[in-house]
């Protein structure tokens, strides 16, 4: 059977063990026509060295190692099925993935692109299921996959997408299968689209750095008339907790939900939200100022940086 190529984009940042396990799981895919664009987001040198050591000691991946600033002149050869790109700075989730996405946009006229978190492993039928779902209708733009817990593989984490509460600036993952057919957003840990869709909507907005960029990207796809779907077959097992949490998460979530609303909410709706979020942050900050001063100041900083 003739299969269109799928370019799988993985991002590594000091997560070499997760990345290697993810790469190993991709070897089992029953959809054989794929290649991998692995971007290292300026990790500590040990992370890159360990991945290179892994690549040198296996026979499945034939790779090229490319510095980001050499991508302008780099031409991928047909014998390579993995391009290991070394980014020159930590550009966050959006900026790191965009290094590969921009290259793919310029060099791939047909086929598909799949964004995949490195802290996941895949089932063998994942890619086949996503491509088949994408081709069910011409108006489908993004296709996602069910997420199950890595350490509890019979328990659903999320169906792979969710709804957006435009009144409060919140995105809510759907956690029950069969309850939603079309989604407001798909989770950035697994999104498949065609190269044509990617060229039409463009790459991920890099201002977010991390959190909400997948919601914004999904909204951009919907604004172009595309529908967001999730496949009923195939899945990923996601290592909840492998991504960044703590004060960084609080800061970026606070700042970026405001940025998202500023970019996507209609005039009056945005100002109603603005009143809500300012009152919410002030209340949370005052309530917790003596219990957790850093938490309170992080909330206020996120609010300030979103509004200036």
Q: What is the pLDDT of residue 244?
A: 47
Number of structural domains found in the chain? 2
pLDDT, tens digit (0-9, with 9 covering 90-100), for 167-211: 999 999 999 998 888 999 999 999 999 999 999 999 999 999 889
What does the pLDDT average to over 129-140?
Answer: 97
**In terms of domains, do 266 and 128 share one?**
no
**In terms of domains, do 43 and 133 share one?**
yes
Report if residue 189 sits inside a domain: yes
Structure-model confidence comparison of residues 245 and 5, the more confident one? 5
CA separation, residue 258 to residues 59, 164, 176, 253, 280 (Å): 47, 13, 28, 9, 12
**In terms of domains, do 192 and 277 share one?**
no
**In terms of domains, do 72 and 10 share one?**
yes
Average pLDDT, the chain: 94
Q: What is the pLDDT of residue 78?
A: 87
> pTM for the complete prediction?
0.93
pLDDT for 49 beyond 50: yes
Residue 129 structural domain: 6-145+180-234
What does the pLDDT average to over 119-144?
Answer: 97
**In terms of domains, do 223 and 273 share one?**
no
CATH of the domain at 110: 3.90.550.10
| Vertex 239 angle, CA 18 and 41, to 5° | 45
Report if residue 136 sits inside a domain: yes
**In terms of domains, do 52 and 75 share one?**
yes
Report if residue 167 sits inside a domain: no
**How far apart (Å, rounded) are the C-alpha atoms in residues 24 and 94?**
24
Report if residue 120 sits inside a domain: yes
**In terms of domains, do 197 and 90 share one?**
yes
Q: What is the pLDDT of residue 245?
A: 46
**In terms of domains, do 137 and 222 share one?**
yes
**In terms of domains, do 57 and 189 share one?**
yes
pLDDT, tens digit (0-9, with 9 covering 90-100), for 255-292: 999 999 999 998 899 999 999 999 999 999 999 999 99
Report if residue 261 sits inside a domain: yes
The secondary element (H helix, E strand) that includes residue 154 is strand 152-158
What does the pLDDT average to over 120-143?
Answer: 97
What does the pLDDT average to over 41-47?
Answer: 90
**In terms of domains, do 49 and 187 share one?**
yes
**How far apart (Å, rounded) are the C-alpha atoms in residues 111 and 98?**
18
Report if residue 109 sits inside a domain: yes
Rounded to the nearest 5°, which phi and psi values hold at 35?
Answer: -130, 170
DSSP one-letter code for 167: T
**In terms of domains, do 58 and 138 share one?**
yes
pLDDT, tens digit (0-9, with 9 covering 90-100), for 205-260: 999 988 999 999 999 999 999 999 999 999 999 997 544 448 888 999 999 999 99
**In terms of domains, do 199 and 299 share one?**
no
């Amino acid at each position: 059977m003739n299969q269109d190529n799928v370019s799988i984009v993985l991002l590594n940042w000091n997560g070499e063990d997760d990345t290697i396990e993810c790469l190993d799981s991709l070897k089992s895919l029953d959809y054989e026509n794929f290649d991998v664009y692995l971007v290292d987001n300026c990790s500590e040198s040990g992370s890159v060295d360990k991945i290179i050591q892994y690549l040198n000691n296996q026979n499945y991946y034939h790779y090229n190692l490319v510095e980001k600033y050499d991508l302008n002149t780099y031409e991928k050869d047909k014998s390579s099925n993995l391009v290991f790109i070394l980014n020159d700075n930590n550009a966050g989730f959006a900026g790191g993935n965009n290094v590969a996405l921009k290259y793919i946009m310029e060099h791939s006229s047909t086929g598909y692109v799949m964004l995949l978190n490195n802290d996941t492993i895949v089932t063998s039928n994942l890619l086949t299921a996503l491509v088949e779902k994408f081709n069910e209708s011409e108006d489908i733009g993004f296709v996602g996959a069910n997420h199950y817990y890595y350490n509890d593989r019979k328990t659903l984490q999320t169906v792979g997408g969710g709804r957006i509460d435009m009144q409060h600036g919140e995105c809510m993952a759907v956690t029950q299968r069969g309850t939603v057919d079309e989604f407001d957003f798909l989770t950035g840990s697994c999104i498949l689209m065609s190269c044509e869709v990617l060229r039409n909507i463009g790459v991920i907005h890099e201002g977010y750095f991390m959190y909400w960029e997948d919601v914004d990207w999904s909204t951009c796809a919907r604004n172009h008339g595309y529908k967001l779907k999730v496949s009923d077959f195939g899945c990923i097992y996601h290592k909840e907790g492998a991504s960044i949490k703590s004060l960084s998460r609080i800061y970026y979530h606070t700042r970026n939900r405001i940025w998202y609303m500023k970019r996507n909410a209609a005039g009056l709706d945005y100002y109603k939200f603005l009143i809500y979020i300012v009152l919410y942050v002030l209340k949370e900050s005052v309530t917790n100022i003596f219990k957790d001063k850093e938490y309170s100041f992080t909330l206020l900083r996120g609010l300030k940086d979103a509004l200036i």
